[in-house]
Amino acid sequence: MIDDDIVVEVRGVHYAIGTHAIFKGLNMRVRRGAITAVMGPSGTGKTTLLRLIMGQSVAQRGHVTVFGKEVAGLERRELYKLRQRVGLLFQNGALLTDLSVFENVAFPLREHTDLPEPVLRELVLMKLQTVGLRGAAELMPAELSGGMARRVALARAIVMDPEMLIYDEPFVGLDPISKGVIVRLIQSLNRLLGTTSIVVSHDVREISAIADDSYLLAEGKVMAEGSPAELCKEQTESVRQFMSGTPDGPVPFHYPAPDYFEQLLARPDA
């Protein structure tokens, strides 16, 4: 692992939707070959960060560099070239509903390569075998459970052997077995193929077990960074609250609201 080799660099990024500021000077770096965890409470802009890295959104200020190229300045063709080097696992899988599992995984290969059908078939079956769904190749997405759909989407994300894999909340809604399978897959893809991985998640336990670096986002900035072990030792109250998952602390559980009893006792027409 070469420490200086930075795949993604986010420098002083400011991003707002309307008047609502999501990022206020965000800085982070993703090392080549490392698993980088991006954590943070809901609504801190974790998915927005992925959109900025993939060039789907453009920051109002600051720089996002991927493979040494400024994403905001890329033309559509160059952006597509860059995206071919990256695999993205969507939170809900985002499988194409009119194609079978096999065709979903084969989709990027059919679009970007001229591989002969037997080679393509072998590749797809190998990726499906990796996620344990070779037997489901002929099923349609509507026939899959949520966890199976996520695994098919993962097979599709790795079918082009990307240099970097981005996982958007890969553990949400999965049973413990599927969760364990996904954790092991992320780890083995990273260790065996040297794939750089960015995992956006708030499942602290799962992600801490495999991440090399982690960033904790809050209030539009990086609240803490370092290895998961370092984050666990962090003394800042808000970091400790997030890492231990307690409702009481500087990060409020409740959305700002008027007094509870006053609201309950108030007459609606008053």
Partner 1 sequence: MHEHKAPHGPIPRRRDGRVSSLSQRRSIALDAVAKVGAVALFLVRLLGQCIPALVRPQLIIRQIYNAGARSLVIIMLCGLFVGMVLGLQGYQLLQRFGSESALGMAAALGLIKELGPVLTALLFAGRAGTSLCSEIGLMGATDQLAAMEMMAVDPVRHVVAPRFLGGLIAVPLLAAIFSCVGIYGAQLIGVTMMRIQAGTFWSQMQSAVGLRDVNEGLIKSVVFGAACSLLAVYEGFHAEPTAEGVGLATTRTVVTSAVLVLLLDYMLTAAFL
Closest to 177 (Cα-Cα) out of 218, 131, 215, 216: 131
78 binds partner 1, rule: CB under 8 A:
no
**Could you say which of 6, 54, 125, 140 contacts partner 1 (CB under 8 A)?**
54
Q: Which tokens hold the place of 119? A: 């080679």
69 binds partner 1, rule: CB under 8 A:
no
Distance CA 54, CA 37 (A): 17
Interface with partner 1: number of residues (CB under 8 A) = 20
Binding segment for partner 1 (CB under 8 A), chosen from 1-9, 35-43, 78-86, 232-240, is 78-86
Nearer to partner 1, 81 or 233 (CB): 81
Distance CA 195, CA 214 (A): 17
From first CA to last CA, the distance across the chain in angstroms is 66
In the complex, least distance from residue 225 CB atom to partner 1, rounded to whole angstroms? 26
Site string for partner 1, 100-129 (x = CB under 8 A): -------xx--xx-----------------
Distance CA 241, CA 250 (A): 8
Binding segment for partner 1 (CB under 8 A), chosen from 9-17, 84-92, 132-140, 186-194, is 84-92
**Could you say which of 25, 73, 81, 236 contacts partner 1 (CB under 8 A)?**
81
Torsion region of 106: left, alpha or beta (phi above 0 gives left; psi -120 to 50 gives alpha): alpha
> Hey, which residues between 144 and 203 contact partner 1 (CB under 8 A)?
156
* 3 state DSSP class of 198: strand
* 3 state DSSP class of 154: helix
Positions that interact with partner 1 (CB under 8 A) = 54, 56, 76, 80-81, 83-84, 86, 88, 90, 92, 94-97, 107-108, 111-112, 156
